[in-house]
A and B are shown apart, each in its own frame.
Chain A
Amino acid sequence: MTTDSMPVPRTTNVARRWKKSGLLRQEMIEGWLFASPFIIGFILWTAYPMILSAWMSFQEWDILTPPKSNGFNNYAKLILEDKLFWQSLGNTAFLTFLGVPIGMVAALATALSLNVKTPLTTLYRTLFFLPSQIPGAANAVLWALIFNAQFGILNQLLGYVGIEPVNWLFDKYTVKPALIFMGLWGVGGSMMIYLAGLQGIPQELYEAAEIDGANLWRRMWHITLPLLTPVIFFSLIMGIIGSFQGGFTSVYIMTEGGPANYSLVTMLYIYRQAFNYMHMGYASAFAWILFFIIMAFTAIQFKLANRWVFYETNK
């Protein structure tokens, strides 16, 4: 191979053109200017706090007095001594690995049932989507009333069929399932994404399959689901990340993490450590551990995605 045939590095190429072309330079400046609101916002409100929290995770700091370095003590204490750290992780994992799949199935089922054209389809879609737009705090208050052991509507309905009142939010066996059940109220957001995915599937495929005699189940299994896998994958990733980072509003308002910490989720525990107990360094350490846990799960999912996610561009 001669040197003439070697590809010129793109950076060199751009640099050369940069020197020659005033227009290109102007376009680049303008490009950066247009992107600058995001870049500045990202640096100020995301990158800087992240770096600061990484530093804080090695400090003992109560916010009001100067921080003191304490090496890896926060991490060691969390992992080796703090039972609530493990309990909150366990609770969050339960809510994630049970709640996310159930939520996905519910959202997909709703999307499938609303992916038909009837005069009232738009109305139904709106009705199913609306609850997902209710603020979390209002949702939590609403469901606290529904689950109330004494005068909640759920127990009243169960009473009509002879079931004794259940203390939904203050029983260790029912509190987490109740929170998962409540989460289904907000499947409207995911439902819209599935609907968009469903409408992106070419009709010709269904027509061809129908001509070939494929029944509804086969069309679903061999066309809908494979072509929907990118959307399902997206939903799974976002669902797991959201679940690990979420749940704060509902447990803060409805259960305070109780009874006996059976609904204490990671975010509530981080919040308590940071703002109730003023252990900002300790809370930062937990936040970073959570970050690495989420990153690991996301990486695993991306790795496994090759096996089951089908993109139309795939050969």
Chain B
Amino acid sequence: MQTTEGRVTRRSFLQIAGLAGASTLLAACVAPTAPASAGESAGTSAEKSPLVFWDCPNSAADLPRLEARDAMFEERYPEVDLQVDYFLGGSTDDFKQKAVTQMASGLFPDVIYFQNSQDWIYKGIIASLDDYIDSDPEVDWDDVLEVAQIVATWQGKRYQLPTGVNAWSLYYNKEYLQENGLKMPEEYLAEDRWRWNDGFLELTQGATKGEGMDKFYGIHMNTSGYWGHDELAEVIMSNGGAIFRTDPWRAALDEPEAIESLQFVLDLTKKYGVNAELGAELPQGLELTYSAFMLTGIWMLSSGAFRESFEQFGYEKMGHIRFPYGFNTDYSRNEGGAGGGMATPLEAENPDNAWKWHKWAFNEYCKVSYTNFHSQAPARKSLAADPDYLASFASFESVDEWNYALETTVSLPVPNNGSEAINLMMAEWERVMLGEITVEEMVATVVPQMNELIKDTPPA
């Protein structure tokens, strides 16, 4: 380096600064690669063929479990260099946004977490797995639960090998019901009284106590915000209604079954006072929740972020029952992410390795634990029918109820512009809860708008 009396000259400084700047720019322009998975050395990865996987854990607390999963895969397929990129710190929606942005820039994984992402199929991003499924004798497609088959299939082609079902249903505080001399919901079920306006209402009204900030609610159903549509869907579907119909695509909130359901949810808060007001963010753990019943999905019970609080509460104190029957049905439906799992983009560079992952997850890993990929229940009939396996589901006694939940889970159809349509619906629903409009007025306003938004969805 040129120096003047031991000092760096301006020229040499500029040369070094320019070189450093150019290097930094070049480094920044190189396409980022997914980080190598745990336990992998750079020396061996060069000899292996890569498998890039974009995953979306429920929370950072799930990472150790998922990293153990990755290690199991690497052990099973030592020739594959598994590179997992975990998207942390956001919801599945945030993950979708990040994934789409990266794919738009030409960066594609071989396997991608796939939940409520059917619009990617419409847009031609996801590859059909038909050839692999048909030609691989180790995969038994008929063992997939029917609800998961429906979600994984689009226009006759299969885009997923489903690994799980996020079944929603009701969880309740057995101890609280006993202490307050209330009957268990199973008794109402046995008496054929497990219906909205009968046993369910009687029980939740009996469980509701106190006033103001000390109020203990009969049930916790948070129907505010975008995700509040999950709760609404559960109720609507349990009355034989739907948010969207697919034959042809249309918003179905104006059907009498849906209107009745929305009115019932409104009444739970405004008329009967058994559910909290809009936006009352009751803590999720039953031990903290000021409610006897909680409507949620299996993912929450076993996901790292909430698992601890449920364990603390004690799974043995927790009961589980199907959502009560609506006015118009003799069944209850569970809104859930049926068929949740993984998919492979058309542009994937290593589709054969991707298939190894799909098959391993479907045949082997899902047997390891109920907290398999994303804390979902198994999507396979053989596992769903296995009492021993189901018994591992957080010590729930009622295997029958679990089977019922799995078999009756329905995934909400995802049309084009589905998120926008749901946001419109939820904003109008919030106006209903604020007392600005009636359910009928909401439906009259929002259904035409939703139909306009989803009109370009290709036929299923």
On A, residues with C-beta under 8 Å from B are 30, 33, 36-37, 40, 62-65, 144, 148-151, 155-156, 159, 164-165, 167, 169-172, 255-261, 272, 275-278
**Which 6 A-B pairs rank lowest in CB-CB distance, beginning with the nearest?**
A170-B279, A260-B430, A275-B97, A259-B430, A256-B225, A260-B431
A-B contact pairs, 13 of them (CB 8 A): A30-B10, A62-B123, A63-B104, A64-B120, A65-B124, A167-B277, A170-B224, A256-B224, A258-B427, A258-B430, A272-B423, A275-B100, A276-B423
Query: How many angstroms from the CA of A1 to the CA of B100 in the assembled complex?
Result: 68
**Chain A interface, DSSP helix/strand/loop, else mixed:** loop
Count of residues in B whose CB is under 8 Å from the partner chain: 42
- B363 proximal to A (CB < 8 A): no
Query: How many angstroms from the CA of A155 to the CA of B277 in the assembled complex?
Result: 15
Could you tell me if A261 and B434 are in contact, using CB atoms closer than 8 angstroms?
A: no
Residue of B nearest to A36 (CB): B21
Query: How many angstroms from the CA of A40 to the CA of B18 in the assembled complex?
Result: 13
Could you tell me if B224 and A258 are in contact, using CB atoms closer than 8 angstroms?
A: yes
A148-B281, A278-B100 known; A33 vs B14 contact (CB < 8 Å): yes
* Min distance, Cβ B281 to any Cβ of chain A, angstroms: 6
Query: How many angstroms from the CA of A63 to the CA of B120 in the assembled complex?
Result: 11
A30-B14, A256-B226 known; A170 vs B277 contact (CB < 8 Å): yes
Of A64, A144, A155, which is within 8 A of B213 by CB? Answer: A155
Interface-central residue, B25, B278, B279, by most chain A CB under 10 Å:
B279
Query: How many angstroms from the CA of A126 to the CA of B417 in the assembled complex?
Result: 48
**Chain B interface, DSSP helix/strand/loop, else mixed:** helix
Could you tell me if A64 and B103 are in contact, using CB atoms closer than 8 angstroms?
A: yes
- B433 proximal to A (CB < 8 A): yes
Could you tell me if B212 and A275 are in contact, using CB atoms closer than 8 angstroms?
A: no
A63-B101, A276-B419 known; A150 vs B434 contact (CB < 8 Å): no
* Min distance, Cβ A168 to any Cβ of chain B, angstroms: 9
On B, residues with C-beta under 8 Å from A are 10, 14, 17-18, 21, 25, 93, 97, 100-101, 103-104, 120, 123-125, 212-213, 215, 224-226, 276-282, 290, 417, 419-420, 423, 426-428, 430-431, 433-434, 436
Residue of B nearest to A87 (CB): B427
Could you tell me if B434 and A259 are in contact, using CB atoms closer than 8 angstroms?
A: yes
Q: Which residues of A contact B281 (CB under 8 A)?
A: 144, 148, 150
Query: How many angstroms from the CA of A122 to the CA of B459 in the assembled complex?
Result: 68
Q: Which residues of B contact A165 (CB under 8 A)?
A: 212-213
Query: How many angstroms from the CA of A171 to the CA of B255 in the assembled complex?
Result: 29
Q: Which residues of A contact B104 (CB under 8 A)?
A: 63-64
Q: Which residues of B contact A149 (CB under 8 A)?
A: 277, 279-280
Residue of B nearest to A170 (CB): B279
Query: How many angstroms from the CA of A260 to the CA of B120 in the assembled complex?
Result: 29
Q: A64-B120, A275-B101, A276-B93 are in contact. List 11 more A-B contacts (CB 8 A).
A: A40-B25, A149-B280, A165-B212, A167-B279, A172-B434, A258-B225, A258-B279, A258-B426, A259-B278, A259-B279, A275-B97
Residue of B nearest to A271 (CB): B97
Of B123, B212, B420, which is within 8 A of A276 by CB? Answer: B420
Query: How many angstroms from the CA of A64 to the CA of B346 in the assembled complex?
Result: 13
Q: Which residues of A contact B436 (CB under 8 A)?
A: 172, 260
Query: How many angstroms from the CA of A169 to the CA of B281 in the assembled complex?
Result: 11
Q: Which residues of B contact A64 (CB under 8 A)?
A: 100, 103-104, 120, 123, 125
Q: Which residues of B contact A276 (CB under 8 A)?
A: 93, 97, 419-420, 423
* Min distance, Cβ B26 to any Cβ of chain A, angstroms: 13
Q: Which residues of A contact B276 (CB under 8 A)?
A: 150
Q: Which residues of B contact A170 (CB under 8 A)?
A: 224, 277-280, 430
Query: How many angstroms from the CA of A37 to the CA of B20 in the assembled complex?
Result: 11
Could you tell me if A150 and B417 are in contact, using CB atoms closer than 8 angstroms?
A: no
Residue of B nearest to A137 (CB): B89
Q: Which residues of A contact B433 (CB under 8 A)?
A: 259
Q: Which residues of B contact A155 (CB under 8 A)?
A: 213
* Min distance, Cβ B76 to any Cβ of chain A, angstroms: 33
Q: Which residues of B contact A258 (CB under 8 A)?
A: 224-225, 279, 426-427, 430
Q: Which residues of B contact A40 (CB under 8 A)?
A: 25
Query: How many angstroms from the CA of A170 to the CA of B427 in the assembled complex?
Result: 12
Query: How many angstroms from the CA of A281 to the CA of B419 in the assembled complex?
Result: 17
